[in-house]
Amino acid sequence: MAKNIKIAAGAGVFLFMILAVVPWLLIKTGRGDLMSVLTSVALLSVISSGVWLTFFIGRINIGQGAYALMGGYVSAILVVKYGVLFWWTLPLAGLFCAAASVLIGLPILRLRGVYFAMVTLTLTEVARLLAQALSITNGPRGITNIPPPGGVEFFGLTLIPDFAELENLRLGFYYLAVVLMILCFAAMWRLVNSRLGFLCRSLQQNEELASSIGVNIGYLRVLAYAISSFLGGVGGAVFAAIVQSIYPATFQIQESVNFMLYCFLGGLSYVFGPMLGTLVLYMGWDLLFKTGAYQLLIFSSTLIVLILFLPNGLLSLRLPWRK
């Protein structure tokens, strides 16, 4: 019981920090760039948490970029070509990706280990080439005239303001991203600690054994992969709205690899691993920008040292004042 209260208190402090203290501090100090970086971190961690979920069922997923790209395109096409309100396209993009991932996942989820990793890596490239070849995606020219998200009113009550008229657009996107991140990780936390989560964990450890005691492994795998792709699609859609454009090259193999690295760095056995991993890797690069030509050298050396000492992720670090 006391444990639950402690968790609730901790979560409360964390929410208060990122919803009130951090934005207040950033506005006070006028650090718009930092707010924008944190927005990206929040979104990238949502996308990476999808990758984490596939790790959770024992699959190395290097194909999340494909779903982020797909989600971005679905949202962009609906908004630009059909005039659908952005807020509706958000779940639609996610659902579209989830549906696509079921079709793709059914055959490829039978693969394991590096084979699954490589097939998903190929998937990212297939998505890019497909976006380049199709005409609904505007081919190599991309979609470059995406408007900011519109407002939502309910009987004259503004539920969501029109982003185009926001005085501080950065703050708008910050809240959007952070709220998505909170929802995503809360759901993930719930999922992992539910019956479903324990079944997934059994998949990670031994699929044959799980199957022999009556776990429907095929269904579980596809379900986890669909949730993962849903998150990728939603994240990609918001990104397209922030930069108001999407190209076939917006999410490439390098991004897919990065999503995987965020999970590794945070720690594969921690739900919040992707969040921390994204924060450190993504923001680390930004902090080093003054080092010019040596940026990549310092960045990669630090990364290697981190892995050497914490091969199981940053969250495996035991703080000295705790047991």
Partner 1 sequence: MEQIVVNGLYLGAQYALIALGLTLIFALMNVLNFAHGQMYVLGGYMTYLVYGKLGMPFALGLAVSALTLLAVGAVVEKFLFRPVLRKSARDESSMLLAAGLAFFFDSIILLLFGQKQHGVPKIIEGVQNWGDFTVVIPNDKIVVGVCTVLMIAAFIIFMQYTKPGRAMRALAQDRTAAQLMGVSADRYGMLGFALGAMLAGLAGGLLVATTGVSSGIGGSISIKAFLMVMIGGAGVVPGAIAGGFILGMMESFGLSYLRAYGDITYLVIFASLMVFLSIRPHGLMGKPWG
Partner 2 sequence: MQNIKKLALAFGVASTLSLGLAPVANAAETLKIGFVGVTSGAKAGWGISNVRCMQTRAKWVNDEGGIKIGDTTYNIEIVTWDTQDNTTRAKEGMEKMVQEGIHYVIGPNTDPTAAAVRPVAERDGVMYFPYAFPKELYTKPASNAVLGMIANYQSGPAIYKYLKENKGVKSIAFLAANESDALSQREGGIQAAKALGLKVLAQDAYQSDTRDFAPAVTPIVKLKPDLLVLSGVAGGTAPLIIRAARELGYTGLMSAETAQDAMQLKDGAGDLANGFISVGGASTPEIRSAMMEEFIRRYTEDHGQYDDESNTKVYAMEYILETLKANPKAINDVEEFKKTMDTLSVPNPYMKGDRKLEYVGLTSFGQKRQVGIPMVVTEYQDGEFQTLFVTNVD
Residues that bind partner 1 (CB under 8 A): 55, 60, 107-108, 110-115, 117-119, 121-123, 125-126, 129-130, 132-133, 253-254, 257, 260-261, 264-265, 268-269, 293-294, 296-297, 299-301, 303-304, 307-308, 311-313
Beta bridge partners of 160: 152
Under the binding rule (CB under 8 A), the answer on residue 2 touching partner 2 is no
- Tokens 């995987």 locate to 260
Strand partners, 227: none
Query: Can you tell me the distance from the alpha carbon of 318 to that of 323, in angstroms, rounded to the nearest whole number?
Result: 8
Instruction: Give least dist CB 9 to partner 2, A.
Output: 8
Residue 112's binding partner, choosing from partner 1, partner 2, none, with beta-carbon cut-off 5 to 8 A by kind?
Answer: partner 1
Characterise 240 by phi-psi region: left (phi > 0), alpha (psi -120 to 50), beta (else). Answer: alpha
Residue pair 282/37 in contact (Cβ under 8 Å)? The answer is yes
Q: Find which of partner 2, partner 1, none residue 317 binds, CB within 5 to 8 Å per kind.
A: partner 2
Q: What is the CA radius of gyration of the chain?
A: 20
Least Å distance, CB 235 to partner 2, is: 11
Nearer to partner 2, 185 or 225 (CB): 185
Least distance (Å) between residue 129 CB and partner 1: 4
CB of 113 to partner 1, least distance (A): 4
Judge whether 69 and 251 are in contact, CB under 8 Å.
yes
Sign of the Cα pseudo-torsion (123, 124, 125, 128, in order): positive
Q: Does 139 bind partner 2 (CB under 8 A)?
A: yes
The DSSP secondary structure of 38-88, one letter per residue, reads HHHHHHHHHHHHHHHHHHHTT-----HHHHHHHHHHHHHHHHHHH---HHH
Single out the residue of 105, 130, 132 nearest to residue 119, CA to CA. Answer: 105
Site string for partner 2, 182-221 (x = CB under 8 A): ----------------------------------------
243 near partner 2, judged by CB under 8 A: yes
Question: Residue 238: phi, psi to the nearest 5?
Answer: -65, -40
Helices (H), the chain: 2-16, 22-29, 32-56, 64-82, 86-108, 113-133, 169-192, 195-205, 207-212, 217-243, 253-266, 273-287, 295-309
| Least Cβ distance, residue 180 to partner 1 (angstroms) | 26
5 binds, among partner 1, partner 2, none (CB under 5 to 8 A by kind): none
Q: Is the CB of residue 298 less than 8 Å from the CB of residue 291?
A: yes
234 near partner 2, judged by CB under 8 A: no
Q: Does 134 bind partner 2 (CB under 8 A)?
A: no
CA distance 44 to 235: 7
**Footprint of partner 2 on 245-304 (CB under 8 A):** 245, 247-250, 254-255, 270-272, 275-276, 279-280, 283, 285-287, 289-290, 292-293, 295-296
CB of 7 to partner 2, least distance (A): 5
Binding of partner 2 at residue 28 (CB under 8 A)? no
Contact residues for partner 2 (CB under 8 A)?
A: 3, 6-7, 10-11, 13-14, 17-18, 22, 25, 29, 31-34, 36-37, 40, 44, 129, 132, 139-142, 144-145, 169, 239, 242-245, 247-250, 254-255, 270-272, 275-276, 279-280, 283, 285-287, 289-290, 292-293, 295-296, 314-315, 317, 319, 322
